[in-house]
Amino acid sequence: MTITLPDEMRESLERKAAVGGFASVNEYVADVLAADEMPDFVETTRGPDFRTREELEKLIDEGMASGVAGEMDDAFWARLDARIRDRAAQQAGSP
C-alpha cells in the first residue's frame, strides 16, 4: 500500500518514529494502526506511549526522580541491545 502525505506530515511521522525507537516510519505507522485496532493487545506489548518530545522528557524526568538506577555499564547496554534485537526479530516474524 502506498500513501502520499504532505511534506510536513511526513517529517512529523519521521520524527515520531525516531523518538519512538522505530526503525522506520512504516513500523511506526503499523504500530499506531495496531493500537487503534487492538488497544488491549498493544497495551501489553509496547513500551511507554509518548507522541512528543515533551512527553518523552516528562517520562525521563519521572524515571530520574524514581530512585536509584542501576549502573549503565557495557553489560547493561549489551542486555538492552539483545532485548531490542529480540523484539525486532519477533516483530519481523509476526504476520
Q: Tally the residues of the chain.
A: 95
- pLDDT value at position 69? 73
What confidence score (pLDDT) does residue 82 get?
Answer: 92
User: What is the pTM (predicted TM-score) of this model?
Assistant: 0.41
- CA 43, CA 53: separation in Å to the nearest integer? 20
Amino acid identity, residue 11? E
- Sorted by where each begins, the domain ranges of the chain are 7-69
- Band of pLDDT at residue 71, cut at 50, 70 and 90: confident
**H or E segment to which residue 20 belongs:** none
Cell numbers of 60, please?
Answer: 525521563
Q: pLDDT tens-digit profile of 1-60?
A: 788 888 899 898 898 888 888 888 888 888 888 777 766 555 545 555 666 778 888 888
**Rounded CA separation 19/4 (Å):** 22
